[in-house]
Amino acid sequence: MDPPDVPAYLRSLTPVVLRIDTRVTNHGYSNGRATGYQAVLQAGTAVLVDDRGMPRVRCACGNPLSAPVAQQSAPKTTGDAWPGFKQSNVVAVTPAPEPVDVFVMCEPDGEWFERHKGDTGTRDRKTEKPDKPSPSVSITTPTGTTDTTSSEPPTSEPPTSDPGTSSEPPTSDPGTSSQPPPPPGDGTGSDTTDQAPSS
């Protein structure tokens, strides 16, 4: 993408809050070069998604995001696991088969609403819960294989199990909490578990 195209691209993206710990490829900058690393963004992290529901930018820092890379072995853990994190609940978003014009999402209090793609919430409208929850996500197993659960357009309906979050998925399961996960970090949207691994 050419630099002059960036503002229009960013305006085309839609702000959402992740309701499920989500695996992505995060990007940074080190030694004069762009870097990519596997990360798990904690539920409660604000991101911008494209018209297929794919996370493309982490709002707290502006880092570009892309689809996660399939892991051939158990991922190496870096950072601290947060309360409620459970590897088996981490998902990877699968792009919707066609562009989405209106995203159906759920507030933390359970209220459902619609948001038009590219809108920042100014035209949000309450709506009914979808008849069939159909998140467009893949559950990532510790071996790195994925099980696609749906190819329907994305909603923010979480799976029935309790979610959690982290940078790279931990190799051991720290357990889960019956309480919903806290917002990431100190309220600024940053957390220590979403840092590039040190070399």
Query: Which pLDDT does position 141 carry in this prediction?
Result: 46
Q: Under 8 Å CB-to-CB from 8, ≥6 apart: which residues?
A: none
Report pLDDT digits (tens) over 23-37.
999 999 899 998 999
Tokens of 117: 């793609």
Tokens of 89: 């609940």
Reply yes or no on whether the pLDDT at 182 is more than 80: no
The four Cα atoms 91, 97, 98, 99 give a dihedral, to 10 degrees, of 20
Reply yes or no on whether the pLDDT at 8 is more than 90: yes
Distance CA 111, CA 81 (A): 29
Q: Are 48 and 55 in contact (CB under 8 A)?
A: yes
Burial class (CB in 10 A: 0-12, 13-18, 19+), 1: exposed
3-state class of 102 per DSSP?
strand
Show me where the domains of the chain are located. Answer: 3-148
pTM of the model: 0.67
